[in-house]
C-alpha cells in the first residue's frame, strides 16, 4: 500500500511543474537546515556591538540586527527550528488523532459519543486562540508552543480517521478477518488503517504550512521561541520596530517563512489532487 502510494506521488510530481517548484522550495530549506553550520558564516547568537544594524553587504548578506548578530546566519539556523517544530507537531497530531479516531470509530457506542464530544470541545475554539491559551498556561518557549499547537491540531485527524474506520469496519474483507479469528489489533493495523494512509498524507501536507505559520505567530507575540533563539517568527517580532529604518531585519525572516509556507502549500495541493480524486481541480 505504502509503496503504491509512493509510486503514484512520484508520477504526479514528475508531471506537475508547480509541484516540482514546491518540492524545490521545501528541499532547499531542508538542505539549509541540515548543513547550517557549513552555510552560516557567523554564530547565530554571538553579539558584536561594533557591527550593529549594518545593511546587507558582502560581509553580511542579510545585514545585522541591533545586537550585531548576522541575520543571514540566524535565518539559516532558524530553518532547523521551524522545520523541526512543524514536523513534530504534525507527527504528534497524526499519532493522537489516529489513535483516538481508530478507537472511537471501531468500537462506537458510548465510547464514541464521549470521545467525539471531547473532540467537539476542542474544535469549538479558534485554533490560534486555543494555542495561545495553552502556550500561555505552559509558559513561553518553543517546546510549549509545539505542545500547544499539537493540542489544537489532533481533533481534525481524529474525526477524519474515525470516519474512515467507520466506513471500512463493515467491509467484506474485515468481516472475513473477524470470521477467521483475527484479533482486533490485527484487523485495525492490517485491514483498516491502510485505508486511512492516503487521507492522512493529504491532510498532513496541507496542514504543514498552517502549522508553521501558527508556531511563528506564537513566537511573534512572545509566547513561542525566546531571544536569542534564532526562530523566524521571533526574529520578525524583534525587528518589527525597525521596519522603516532597518528594513532588512524583519524582512528576511519574513521572506523565509513565506518561502517555506508556499512550498508546503504547493506540495499539499498537488498531493491532494493526486490522492483525493474527489477534490481534484478541473
Cα-Cα-Cα-Cα dihedral of 108, 100, 135, 207, to 10°?
-110
In a 3-state reduction of DSSP, which class is residue 64?
Answer: strand
From first to last of its 282 residues, what are the pLDDT tens digits of the chain? 555 555 656 666 666 778 788 889 999 999 999 999 999 999 999 998 889 999 999 999 999 999 999 999 999 999 999 999 999 999 999 999 998 988 888 888 888 889 888 898 888 888 889 999 999 999 999 999 999 999 999 999 999 898 888 887 777 777 777 777 777 777 777 777 877 788 888 889 889 999 999 999 999 999 999 888 999 999 999 999 898 899 999 999 999 999 999 999 988 888 877 776 554 444
pLDDT at residue 281 in the model: 47
pLDDT at residue 4 in the model: 55
Residue 70 — φ and ψ, nearest 5°? -70, 120
- The CATH topology of domain 2-48+60-279 is MetI-like fold (1.10.3720)
Question: How many helical (H) and strand (E) elements, i.e. helices and strands, does the chain have?
Answer: 12, 0
Q: Phi/psi zone of residue 39: left (φ > 0), alpha (ψ -120 to 50 degrees), beta?
A: alpha
Cis peptide before 228 (omega within 30 of 0): yes
Give residue limits of the domains in the chain: 2-48+60-279
pLDDT at residue 14 in the model: 66
Task: Pull the grid cell for residue 268.
Answer: 499539499
**One-character DSSP codes across 34-72:** HTHHHH-SS-SS---GGGTTPPS-SSSTT-B-TT--BHH
pLDDT at residue 201 in the model: 86
pLDDT at residue 168 in the model: 79
pTM of the model: 0.87
Amino acid at each position: 500500500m505504502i509503496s503504491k502510494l509512493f509510486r503514484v506521488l512520484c508520477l504526479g510530481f514528475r508531471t506537475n511543474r508547480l509541484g516540482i517548484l514546491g518540492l524545490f522550495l521545501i528541499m532547499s530549506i531542508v538542505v539549509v537546515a541540515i548543513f547550517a553550520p557549513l552555510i552560516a558564516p557567523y554564530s547565530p547568537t554571538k553579539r558584536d556591538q561594533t557591527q550593529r544594524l549594518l545593511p546587507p553587504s558582502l560581509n553580511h548578506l542579510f545585514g545585522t540586527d541591533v545586537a550585531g548578530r548576522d541575520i543571514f546566519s540566524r535565518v539559516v539556523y532558524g530553518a532547523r527550528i521551524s522545520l523541526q517544530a512543524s514536523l513534530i507537531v504534525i507527527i504528534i497530531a497524526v499519532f493522537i488523532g489516529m489513535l483516538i479516531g481508530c478507537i472511537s470509530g471501531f468500537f462506537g457506542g458510548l465510547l464514541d459519543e464521549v470521545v467525539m464530544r471531547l473532540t467537539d470541545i476542542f474544535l469549538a475554539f479558534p485554533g490560534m486562540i486555543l494555542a495561545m491559551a495553552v502556550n500561555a498556561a505552559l509558559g513561553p518557549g518553543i517546546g510549549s508552543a509545539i505542545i500547544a499547537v499539537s493540542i489544537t491540531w489532533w481533533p481534525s485527524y481524529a474525526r477524519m480517521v474515525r470516519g474512515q474506520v467507520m466506513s471500512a469496519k463493515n467491509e467484506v474483507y474485515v468481516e472475513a478477518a473477524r470470521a477467521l479469528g483475527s484479533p482486533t489489533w490485527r484487523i485495525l493495523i492490517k485491514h483498516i488503517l491502510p485505508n486511512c494512509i492516503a487521507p492522512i498524507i493529504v491532510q498532513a501536507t496541507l496542514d504543514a504550512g498552517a502549522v508553521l505559520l501558527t508556531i511563528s505567530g506564537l513566537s511573534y507575540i512572545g509566547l513561542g521561541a525566546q531571544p536569542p533563539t534564532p526562530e523566524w517568527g521571533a526574529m520578525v517580532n524583534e525587528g518589527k520596530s525597525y521596519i522603516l529604518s532597518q528594513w532588512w531585519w524583519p524582512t528576511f525572516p519574513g521572506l523565509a517563512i513565506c518561502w517555506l509556507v508556499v512550498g508546503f502549500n504547493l506540495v499539499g495541493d498537488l498531493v491532494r489532487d493526486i490522492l483525493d480524486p474527489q477534490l481534484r481541480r478541473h
